[in-house]
């Protein structure tokens, strides 16, 4: 339960990790002051502005403390999988716990209730990944409204142009621009704090809001008013999930230092400064964030800095979507997609063209449709609060099952966390008609893809490998006088480390021959982020020149079969990697089987199969060495 980024690092490296955490982890939550207070004040009960402002500040402050500092930093981030965090790390830990409960026996990943819950959380993150860049960039661009009304008709167009440029440069990777993320966000949080402290010094009475009684008093209003208000309060903590998701990049300690040293004080000072400004200017209807800066050059500079911060916040969500997709592919919950590596020294820096295009279209259309951060705020929050609640439940399962925490210890803690999560989630549920349906529709589409792909792959595996041809029977076939052995090596890519693939049996039946060396090669994804090179390979001779080879990768690694076969040769097997022939199945999906899938799922799975990246490309194998065998399969 400790991060792999330990305390033995040099002070310079630790400082770099803290700076990097500021630039990547806190971009989303760091840009929340652009619109949070404005939305909260707009939903205050009528006739109670002064008391309402103090109540809002109290709720924001204690939400940051309880959700970010206590829930995530103190507890959830202890649930790391070899230093990695995030929703799929929890899924892997749940699998590990289930495997331990079965005495260490390897279990086939199914679609049980816990897995479905995790997949829903992952799907919701995609909805958040589309809305966050749109609302952040729109909120920053709206600063031009206060510079001059001339800009007002062009704000939406400027936001769309910024988003288009942001997604266009993704193929270049984040290495060249990543170095400036941390310093820019450090400047951002310093500016937030200084602006807030300036106005706070003029009205220090708002510090009374540190007393949670002011927030509790605001919650005594009618439920409908409270729900509306909490739906705006939650905007202050959107991005908290990023602390956990990006833990593997920077480590828990670095994220905590960046939070307590820069992000948390900057946010608190700014929110209280906005509250002080609102109390000092009761008649103003301007966005309090931009109104805090003096008109003229200072306000223009704040707008430019806000846009830079919003772009960085968007970049963090975009990169997170790439990583989430790769993990889903490796774990078998998403079709294969093309993945480009943008930094030879950092395997985590990747670019997924399809995901980038989908996010770009989604974000730009979202900004164009909603036109303002005010309107988009109605759609924001439901996805992230849903994920937070799922994280709490998954954390409970891991703590109780894996770590053996007694129910009396972990139960009350997670009930308290879940009560906060559900309060925020239910308050956002009333936004369904006003735009809350949008992230849920995105999540529903992603969930349909993941569920259909996983169900379809399980059904295909059953058809391909449940043929009951044992390894001993395969050896008898290989030495039969009716089968001619030809020189060279044949590598059959198989999806299971057990059983005999149909493609091999079809090959022998059709051609009456078999290569002198036959390798049944399977790629297994472990429930860990990365598998060391020393543990990459297992190989076993079955007999008659037939071998079974298993390559092991973590869910944050991408397989390289060419390198794997070179490693097989290094182990002593007589094989020429450049002369070997790879055999793949080309599945042709047909209806009429008894797989138990709905008819629409069968059609959808066929569509996904036809449009998924071919396995031969995903595994980095030269096309000239590949033979595909047609395999009609009835689902």
Q: How far is CA 430 from the centre of its chain?
A: 26
Residue 80: the pLDDT is 86
Q: What is the pTM of this model?
A: 0.84
Q: Please tell me the least confidently modeled range out of 255-264, 496-505, 511-520, 551-560.
A: 496-505
Residue 31: the pLDDT is 92
Residue 273: the pLDDT is 96
In this predicted structure, the answer to whether residue 142 has a pLDDT above a threshold of 70 is: yes
Q: What is the mean pLDDT of residues 514-518?
A: 93
**Comparing 82 with 466, which gets the higher pLDDT?**
82
Q: Do 52 and 45 contact (CB within 8 A), yes or no?
A: yes
Burial of 161 (0-12, 13-18, 19+ CB in 10 A): middle
Q: Do 91 and 556 contact (CB within 8 A), yes or no?
A: no
- When the pLDDT of each residue in the chain is averaged and rounded to a whole number, the result is 86
Dihedral sign, Cα of residue 30, residue 89, residue 340, residue 608? negative
Angle, CA of 440, 446 and 452, to the nearest 5°: 130
Q: How far apart are CA 222 and CA 182, in angstroms?
A: 43
In this predicted structure, the answer to whether residue 270 has a pLDDT above a threshold of 90 is: yes
**Across the chain, which distance is largest between two alpha carbons, in Å?**
96
**Where do runs of H (alpha helix) occur along 234-352?**
240-245, 247-250, 252-258, 264-280, 288-291, 297-330
Q: How far is CA 138 from the centre of its chain?
A: 23
Q: How far apart are CA 72 and CA 65, in angstroms?
A: 10
Name the range with the highest mean pLDDT among 21-30, 94-103, 537-546.
537-546
Residue 2: the pLDDT is 41
pLDDT in tens, 202-254: 999 999 999 999 999 988 888 888 888 898 999 999 888 888 888 877 888 98
**Comparing 438 with 414, which gets the higher pLDDT?**
414
Strands 537-543 and 546-553: antiparallel
Band (4; pLDDT cuts 50, 70, 90): very low
Q: What is the mean pLDDT of residues 475-490?
A: 92
Band (344; pLDDT cuts 50, 70, 90): low
Q: What is the mean pLDDT of residues 491-505?
A: 82
Q: What is the mean pLDDT of residues 551-570?
A: 89
Residue 175: the pLDDT is 57
Residue 178: the pLDDT is 58
Residue 391: the pLDDT is 94
Q: Select the CATH number that applies to the domain covering 19-434 from these four: 2.60.40.790, 3.90.480.20, 3.40.50.300, 1.20.1740.10.
A: 1.20.1740.10
Band (146; pLDDT cuts 50, 70, 90): confident
Band (1; pLDDT cuts 50, 70, 90): very low
Q: What is the mean pLDDT of residues 529-555?
A: 90
Band (555; pLDDT cuts 50, 70, 90): confident
pLDDT in tens, 373-401: 888 877 778 888 999 999 999 999 999 98
Residue 468: the pLDDT is 67
CATH 1.20.1740.10 segments of the chain: 19-434
**Where do runs of H (alpha helix) occur along 169-283?**
175-202, 212-218, 223-233, 240-245, 247-250, 252-258, 264-280
């Amino acid at each position: 339960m400790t991060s792999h980024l330990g305390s033995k690092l040099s002070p310079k490296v630790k400082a770099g990790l803290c700076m990097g955490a500021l630039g990547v982890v806190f971009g989303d939550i760091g840009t929340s002051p652009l619109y949070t207070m404005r939305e909260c004040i707009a939903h205050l009960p009528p006739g109670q502005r002064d008391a309402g402002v103090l109540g809002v500040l109290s709720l924001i402050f204690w939400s940051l403390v309880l959700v970010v500092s206590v829930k995530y930093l103190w507890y959830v981030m202890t649930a790391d999988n070899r230093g990695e965090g995030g929703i799929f790390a929890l899924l892997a830990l749940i699998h590990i716990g289930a495997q331990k409960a079965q005495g260490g026996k390897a279990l086939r990943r199914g679609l049980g209730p816990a897995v479905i819950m995790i997949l829903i959380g992952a799907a919701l993150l995609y909805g958040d990944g589309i809305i966050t860049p749109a609302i952040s960039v729109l909120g920053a661009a709206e600063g031009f409204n206060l510079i001059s009304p001339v800009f007002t008709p062009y704000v939406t167009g400027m936001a769309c142009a910024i988003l288009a440029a942001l997604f266009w440069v993704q193929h270049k990777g984040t290495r060249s621009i990543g170095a400036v993320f941390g310093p820019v966000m450090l400047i951002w949080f310093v500016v937030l704090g200084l602006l807030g402290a300036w106005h706070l010094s003029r009205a220090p009475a708002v510090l009374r809001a540190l007393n949670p009684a002011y927030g509790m008093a605001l919650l005594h209003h009618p439920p409908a008013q409270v729900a509306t208000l909490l739906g705006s309060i939650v905007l202050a903590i959107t991005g908290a999930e990023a602390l956990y998701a990006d833990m593997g990049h920077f480590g828990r300690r670095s994220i905590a230092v960046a939070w307590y040293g820069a992000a948390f004080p900057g946010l608190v000072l700014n929110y209280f400064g906005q509250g002080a400004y609102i109390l000092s200017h009761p008649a103003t209807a301007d966005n309090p964030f931009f109104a805090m800066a003096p008109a003229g050059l200072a306000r223009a500079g704040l707008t430019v800095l806000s846009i830079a911060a919003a772009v960085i916040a968007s970049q963090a969500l975009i990169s997170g979507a790439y990583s989430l997709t790769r993990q889903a592919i490796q774990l078998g919950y998403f079709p294969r997609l093309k993945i480009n590596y943008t930094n030879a020294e950092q395997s985590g820096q990747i670019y997924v063209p399809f995901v980038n295009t989908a996010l770009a279209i989604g974000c730009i259309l979202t900004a164009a449709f909603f036109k303002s951060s005010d309107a988009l705020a109605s759609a924001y929050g439901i996805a992230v609060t849903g994920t937070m609640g799922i994280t709490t439940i998954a954390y409970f399962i891991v703590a109780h099952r894996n770590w053996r925490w007694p129910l009396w210890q972990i139960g009350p803690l997670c009930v308290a966390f879940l009560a906060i999560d559900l309060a925020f989630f239910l308050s956002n549920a009333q936004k369904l008609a006003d735009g809350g349906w949008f992230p849920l529709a995105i999540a529903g589409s992603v969930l349909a893809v993941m569920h259909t792909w996983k169900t379809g792959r399980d059904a295909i595996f059953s058809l391909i490998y449940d043929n009951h041809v044992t390894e001993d029977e395969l050896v008898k076939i290989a030495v039969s006088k009716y089968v001619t052995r030809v020189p060279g090596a044949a590598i059959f890519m198989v999806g299971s480390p057990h059983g005999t693939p149909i493609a091999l049996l079809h090959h022998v039946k059709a051609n009456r021959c078999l290569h002198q060396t036959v390798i049944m090669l399977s790629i297994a994804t472990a429930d860990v982020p990365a598998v060391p090179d020393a543990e990459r390979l297992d190989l076993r001779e079955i007999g008659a020149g037939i071998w079974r080879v298993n390559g092991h990768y973590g869910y944050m690694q991408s397989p390289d079969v060419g390198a794997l076969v070179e490693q097989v040769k290094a182990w002593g097997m007589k094989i020429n990697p450049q002369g070997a022939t790879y055999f793949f199945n080309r599945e042709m999906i047909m209806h009429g089987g008894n797989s138990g899938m709905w008819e629409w799922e069968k059609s959808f799975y066929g569509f996904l199969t036809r449009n998924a990246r071919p396995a031969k490309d995903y595994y980095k194998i030269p096309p000239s060495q590949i033979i595909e065998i047609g395999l009609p399969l009835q689902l």
